[in-house]
Amino acid sequence: MDAIDRARRGDLEFFKNAPLDVLLNARDGNDDSVLSHAVYSNHLDCCEVICKRCPSLLYQQTRPKGHTPLHHAAYSGNLPILKLLISTCAKADLEYQQDIEGKGGDKTHPRKTLTLRTNDYGDNAMHKATHGSQPEAVKLLIEADPDNELLRAGDNKNNTPLHLAVGLKSDHKIARLLIEADPDFPYGANMEGETPLFIAIKMAEMRSRVPLKFKELILELQPVQCKVRVGENGWTVLHYAVSKRFLKSIGDIIQSCPESSEVVDNEGQYFFHHAVKLGGVEMVKHILGLKEIPSIVLNGPDNLGRTPFDVAAISRNESVILCLHEDPRVNKKLTVTKHLNWVVENHNFVMMNLFMEANADLLMNIELDVLLNSRDQNGDTILFNAAKENHLFLCKEIYKRCPSLIYHQSKGGRTALHDAAWRGEAKMLKFLISAGAKSYYENDQEDIECGGGERIPQKMLLTMVDEQGDTALHKAVLNHKLEAVKLLIEADNDFEYTTNNSGETPLMIAIREAQSNENKRDSGKIRKLLFKMLPNQTKIRTGDEEWTLLQHAAKNGDLSIIEDIIQFCPSCLELVDNEGKNFLHIAAKYERVQVVKHVLRAKDIAVNVLNDEDYDGNTPLHIAASTGNEPMTLCFLYDPRVIKTTMNKNGQHVLHAINFSYDKRKAGVFGITDTVDQSDLKDQRDFDLVVGALIATVSFTAGITVPGGYISDVPNQGTAVLCKQGSFIAFIISNSFALLFSLYAVFSHFCARRLSEDADIKYQLKVATLCTLAAIYCMMVAFIAGSFAVLANSKRLALVVCTISFLFFIFSCRPIWKIAMQRKRSAAASRHEHSPKRSAAASRHEHSPKRSIAASQHERSPKRSALEE
């Protein structure tokens, strides 16, 4: 049986008497000595003998792992043997020290060569006791190591016994012993960059319950570990907890060691910098909710001068930025404005406003190209979107650097002014209007100063239209924004707003919206405002007919619009469309009786408006008569300002178009030959025919039965008795004329009934009338001459009869004079209507080239020329 077996069996006598070389050289397959096997086998007495006889075996280390007997004893936890080995090691170390001193070595720092000896893994006896979970052994080793070298030493991975107790072994009792033995030692990190507190926190967050005790233990007994900086970054456990988002541990650490929050890493960053950089808003809120956080942590700069608020701004985390902004302890002053291009690029106006509250020069530090070229997904600029979201302050600041952006148009052609007008944002509108005007005039002045000699046309913001042809004023009116409408008009009340693509001016839109049954927001105030401030809008022509608003109102029968136009723009009354029709023509055409009555009741309406002729020569009375609307036609007829003697280019007399009876005296047309209607014409013909036939009959009878009778004696039998008297000769001649004129009058009526042309009919009627009148006079002369012939013997009676008969000529003078004067006036009026009036009408269209061309073409058409001829 060899020495190794005897050590296992505990053969004390053998070890007392065995040769030293046998004891010293005995090894098993693992290179363990007899002392090691005695320790393994817990043979205290054998260990005592071996240590006494062969103390050098204490230094013996196994080949594969390098364990010493002390390692074995610590691992197994055999306290008596461990005490023996510790004391023996201490004695051997003392002898070793004395030997050194005897040779002149250091006397003040004795070396512990045996107790500190490590195996191939770098483990000392304390490590092995911890690996073996031997708290009593640990306690014993602590007592034997007053300098705490064993518990501070790290293995090959730089793990101290506390690292192992917390991490690998999770032995709470050993951990407490180690911490209590050296509570102020700042444990460093192992090769994995973890301190015992790191490990405890990681295990606490990952496992719960049992590992949680280690974190509490370390924070309670050794809070100094919270301030230890480890790794290449110099992180503390707070930095680590933040990086792992261990919210509970962050609070526990700060509560246990508040000053640990003020420790910075190698970049000068507090743990709060990292919390902000990671972008966890819950973590940031959690940290801000801790009362122990000092102000320096929340606002302290790092090595680059960046505060946590700067870091949050650079990281583009809006929720974290807002969270910091809401905390009154956080300083909002930015020092990194040059790194905030993302705010502009993303059109993030919330962040922009927030940053500019404390940093008014933010936009001045943004690159100009970024401001000019920044577009959203719709291609809109930052100024356009700022105005769209009603960020007035931002709009002003952006405009200061990039005034050209104010003219940007979106995909629909809308400018910022369009959107502001639609929303009715008064303050934004005032800014945009003033900015647009300023840019316009500044550019104008620059063009002049450049020496170009002329002004280069610039975009005027007020006049810019979208794809629908709407200006900002169109938009404001359409959305019933009264204040916006007023601001836009006051900005330039001389500008003539044209129609949009739908053919509507702002005033037309206002009228349509005011009349809408669904409109509950506009009571007509916008319409009144436009009428008052932009009266010239009523002159704008729209549609194929080129109607003005007044003509549209006339067609629709809108009296309120007509009243407003007459009040604010009376010159519109004379405007005509491309057919030469004014609004009264339109009202007559569409039979708007109320409009006609309303206009004719207005005493200040110009006479030329009532009697204006279109390109066909039709007056409103012509149009009214052609519709057959009796009440409307009578309104014109009975108005003394309306001329009733006009004739259109088709040769139709205005009164010939009337097909109903009316009071000619009231109309002022009684007795005018050219102004009788068809029924009067028939009555006149019938009356003239009867008179002419009667005169012819009387004249024929008088010519056959002559006054004085015939001679019955031969040779002059059958000859008139008075044939030789002058008076009788006058009687025969006048009677013959009376017969001639009366027969020709009857013949003219006969022809008139068979003619179809109005001119021929009227000519024959005129001839018949004159012949009838001449026949009457001739018959009266014949009567006087015949009476004088038969009363030749009674001169006195003859003179009386002739005198009485001559009264007829006296009495007939006045009616004949009246008829002559009436015809003269009618002829003069007709000439006036057909020459000067038409010239005036033509002059009213000269302002419109299109209208003048249409009129001239109209005048030159072959058909019309033939009609005129």
Q: Tens digit of pLDDT for each residue in 217-239?
A: 888 888 888 888 888 888 888 88
Gap between the Cα atoms of 577 and 587, Å rounded: 13
DSSP-derived 3-state class of residue 720: strand
32-71 confidence digits (pLDDT tens): 888 888 888 888 898 888 888 888 888 888 877 888 888 8
Copy the structure tokens of residue 619: 């007056």
Mean pLDDT value across residues 499-509: 88
What pLDDT sits at residue 455?
38
Residue 438's region, left for phi above 0, alpha for psi from -120 to 50, else beta, is alpha
Q: Tell me the chain's radius of gyration from C-alpha atoms.
A: 64
Tell me what the mean pLDDT of segment 465-469 comes to: 91
> What string of DSSP letters covers 655-683?
GGG--S---HHHHT-TT-GGG--HHHHHH
CA distances from 562 to 488, 543, 557, 816 (A): 25, 19, 9, 47
* pLDDT confidence of residue 528: 87
Contact assessment for residue 171 and residue 161, using Cβ atoms and an 8 Å cutoff: no
Identify which of 203, 185, 75, 69 has the alpha carbon closest to the alpha carbon of residue 135.
75
Tens-digit pLDDT profile for residues 673-732? 444 455 556 666 676 677 777 777 776 676 666 666 666 666 666 666 666 677 778 878
Which of 200, 107, 190 is closest to 154 using CA atoms?
190
Q: What is the mean pLDDT of the segment spanning 184-192?
A: 87
Task: Look at residue 675 in the predicted model and tell me its pLDDT.
Answer: 42
Burial 343-371 (b: 16+ CB within 10 A, else e): bbbebbbebbebbbeebeebbeebeeebb
pTM of the model: 0.61
**Cα 790 to Cα 52: distance, rounded to the nearest angstrom:** 210
- 3-class DSSP assignment, residue 597: helix
Contacts of residue 595, Cβ cutoff 8 Å, sequence gap at least 6: 554, 557, 559, 562, 587
Three-state SS for 168? coil
For the stretch 623-660, pLDDT in tens is: 999 998 999 999 999 998 999 888 888 888 888 888 88
Q: What is the mean pLDDT of residues 566-571?
A: 86
Q: How confident is the model at residue 616 (pLDDT cuts 50, 70, 90)?
A: very high
Residue 519 has pLDDT above 60, yes or no: no
- Residue whose C-alpha is closest to residue 488's, from 402, 430, 549: 430
pLDDT average, residue stretch 319-334: 85
Greater confidence (199 vs 852) lies with 199
Q: What is the mean pLDDT of residues 271-294?
A: 86
- Amino acid 211: pLDDT: 56
What is the structure's pLDDT at 436? 81
Mean pLDDT of the chain: 80
Neighbours of 226 (CB within 10 A): 25
- State the pLDDT confidence band at 268, using cuts at 50, 70 and 90: very high
Mean pLDDT of 536-540: 85
Side chain identity, residue 477: V
pLDDT of res. 543 = 82
State the Cα–Cα distance between residues 43 and 713, nearest whole angstrom.
216
Per the CB < 8 A criterion, the answer to whether 299 and 331 are in contact is yes
d(CA 466, CA 409): 8
The C-alpha atoms of residue 803 and residue 784 are separated, in whole angstroms, by 9
Residue 605 has pLDDT above 80, yes or no: yes
Q: Reply yes or no on whether the pLDDT at 836 is more than 70.
A: no
Query: Partners of 117 in the beta sheet?
Result: none
**Longest distance between any two alpha carbons in the chain, whole Å:** 230
H/E segment holding residue 747: helix 726-752
Low-confidence winner among 445-459, 589-603, 680-694 (lowest mean pLDDT):
445-459
Question: Dihedral of CA 16/18/19/25: which sign?
Answer: negative
Q: Which residue has the higher pLDDT, 697 or 312?
A: 312
